[in-house]
Structures are given as C-alpha cells and as structure tokens.
Amino acid sequence: MADAPIVTCPNCGTRNRIRSQPTGVPRCSVCHHALPWVVDADADSFDTEIVASVPVFVDFWASWCAPCRMVSPAVERIAADRAGELKVVKLDVDGASEIAARYGAQSIPLLVLLRDGREVDRMVGAAPEAVLRRWLDERLAPAGAAGSGPGSG
C-alpha cells in the first residue's frame, strides 16, 4: 500500500498527511478546513479506500494512456472544489487487473461514482472538464433538488 499522501491546505497552506478513514472527511490539522481527498489505491488497498462517508469517485487509469493523463488534472481540480463532499480514488489498472475486471474496465479512462459502496454511474472516455463537472453535479445533487431527475437539463 502506498504511503499516506500529503496535501497542502488550500485555506492556510499547512501540509497535512491524509490517512484512509471510513468515516468523516480529512481536515486541516491547523485551520480545520476540509482538504481535497485524492488517494492512489493499489490492488491491496482499493477495497479499503472505496469505503467513505462521502461519495467516492474512482478514476481507473494507466500511465501509458494519453486520454487518462488528460482527464487526471480535471479530476484533481474537481476533488479540490468538492473538498469535504467527495473522495477521489485513483487506480492504475496495470497493477490491479482483478479489480479492473470486477468493474468491467475494458476501456480507460473509466470514471465510476460510488455511493455507500454501490455504483451510481460511470463515464468512459476523456470528457472535457465542464462535461465531467455537469455529469457529477447531476449525480451528486440531493434527491428532489431542483434540476435533478428525469427530464431536467
């Protein structure tokens, strides 16, 4: 399993180590601002990392995949903008073929949104950041919220 990532607080600049945690969200040790929650998982840590009290956005990718490298910065910006609301788990499929097969990751990048461990939806391919944000906004909107549901948008 990879070392716990270190994230700089966007509010005060303090560097914080983020450990895997099934409840709550990571917060700055100094100002208590919600931190962007992006973790690299591997075959051993994946099942632990997708357990969270917030929705989990899984990025199935590979280092040799140019579209994956195009999507990754957008996914990380979204994680920063949704600090405290979303966890991003990045999984290199080359080192986790069984997990990729479990999720039917036949094409990458594959972005899968999980809530309470269950798949909500998925997006295959390198979508522009605006499309990705809209897709996530629709799926993360509270039930019954304006603009959500069939026929909206």
Catalytic residues: 65, 68
Cis peptide before 26 (omega within 30 of 0): no
Q: What phi and psi values does residue 8 have, to the nearest 5 degrees?
A: -85, 130
Alpha carbon 20 to chain centroid, angstroms = 13
93 DSSP 8-state letter: G
> Per-residue DSSP letters for 15-41?
EEE----SSS--B-TTT-PBPPEEEEE
Contact 122, 60 (CB under 8 A): no
Residue 33, both tokens: 């601002």
Going by C-beta distance under 8 Å and a sequence separation of 6 or more, which residues neighbour residue 106? none
The amino acid at residue 121 is D
